[in-house]
Amino acid sequence: MHLTIPLEQMTVEDKLQAIEEIWTDLAGTPEDIPSPSWHADVLRTREQRISEGTSDFLDIAEAKNAVREQLK
């Protein structure tokens, strides 16, 4: 199916609403969304680091501060 959306005629609010509706629909069947091939490798590496005790974890406040620092 090819869908043409009149983006140039839509307001920002209209575009955000369309994105929200699409996201809500996709979220209803997450099992239908394929995971990229590299994702399994990343997960295996993370699991290995956790089992080796070499992973560092931040609580949510620390994580937010780290992101804010990176955005400066």
Whether 13 is covered by a domain: the verdict is no
Whether 19 is covered by a domain: the verdict is no
- Between the CA of residue 21 and those of 6, 25, 26, 62, what are the distances in Å? 16, 6, 9, 32
Q: State the pTM of this model.
A: 0.52
Domain count, the chain: 1
Contact 5, 18 (CB under 8 A): yes
- Between the CA of residue 35 and those of 24, 30, 40, 66, what are the distances in Å? 18, 10, 8, 27
Range of the domain at 46: 35-72
pLDDT averaged per 10 residues in sequence order, the chain, 72 residues: 95 97 96 94 96 95 96 92
Length of the chain: 72
| Residue 66 exposure: Cα atoms within 13 Å on the Cβ side | 7
Quote the pLDDT of residue 58: 93
Whether 9 is covered by a domain: the verdict is no
